[in-house]
Structure 1
């Protein structure tokens, strides 16, 4: 187990700012991590959806219309803080 911590270090602030330069970049990263094979609705299982224009961190299902945030079920759930 100690070998894992050698390579699992937090990134520097400069690396973070380069990777996540705005809120949209953060929400895209979280969406890719949450749905690596593409969006899947947690309610009906439909594999088609899109991010909302007004809030890119929220996706809407094409099948049932449910809106799901990329932060739902995470430590950022119900947080009013920006993703960055």
Structure 2
């Protein structure tokens, strides 16, 4: 079975519209978390699972105290009351805003409190800092590039061009 690639929104408006659908959020995160398509238990690593569609959870048949887990289990989204549609748009904002984004601005875009936006900002930035996300692959395009060439100082010149 060939897997179809998951759509990645190019604009903020497209991200909000795309991730407003819970099925899109679920499919997007499932593809990111298990790219080979084989879902595994985050606690024991077992692949003998059944999907409980009405709860959007998986049930593991391994022997451990919490046999059920969701897509958020074992990720930075775990124990957060905020839904995945808010988290994924926040992630899009952090990754795509050239000069970063403040918690106040994020709160306005997502329609949440500044305190929640601050919490999301810190969790996402920590994950990016710790390298929890895979490195980008492929071609990289830069919008602006500044190159400073230093030449020998002559005749009271500052030395920069």
| Rg (Cα) greater in structure | 2
TM range (shorter): 0.5 to 0.7
Q: How far does residue 50 in structure 1 lie from its aligned partner after superposition?
A: 3.6
Q: Which residue of 2 aligns with 1:30?
A: 29
Check if 1:74 corresponds to 2:81.
no
SS at the partner of 1:16?
A: helix
Provide the C-alpha distance between the structure 1 equivalents of 2:42 and 2:21, rounded to a whole number of angstroms.
27
- Deviation string 1:46-69 (CA, Å, 9 cap, x unpaired) is 22324322332x2222x3271122
Q: Which residue of 2 aligns with 1:64?
A: 62
- Deviation string 1:1-51 (CA, Å, 9 cap, x unpaired) is xxxxxxxxx842222144324112212211221122210123333223243
Cα RMSD for the two superposed structures: 2.5
Structure richer in helix, relative to its length: 2
Q: How far does residue 79 in structure 1 lie from its aligned partner after superposition?
A: 0.8
1:72/1:11 CA distance change after superposition, 3 Å: farther
Ranges in structure 1 where 5+ consecutive residues have no aligned partner: 1-9
Larger RCO, structures 1/2 (Cα 8 Å, 6+ apart): 1
Using the size of structure 2 for normalisation, the TM-score is 0.38
Aligned pairs, number: 73
Task: Indicate the larger mover: 70-79 or 16-25.
Answer: 16-25
Ranges in structure 2 where 5+ consecutive residues have no aligned partner: 1-8, 86-161
Structure richer in strand, relative to its length: 1
Using the size of structure 1 for normalisation, the TM-score is 0.63
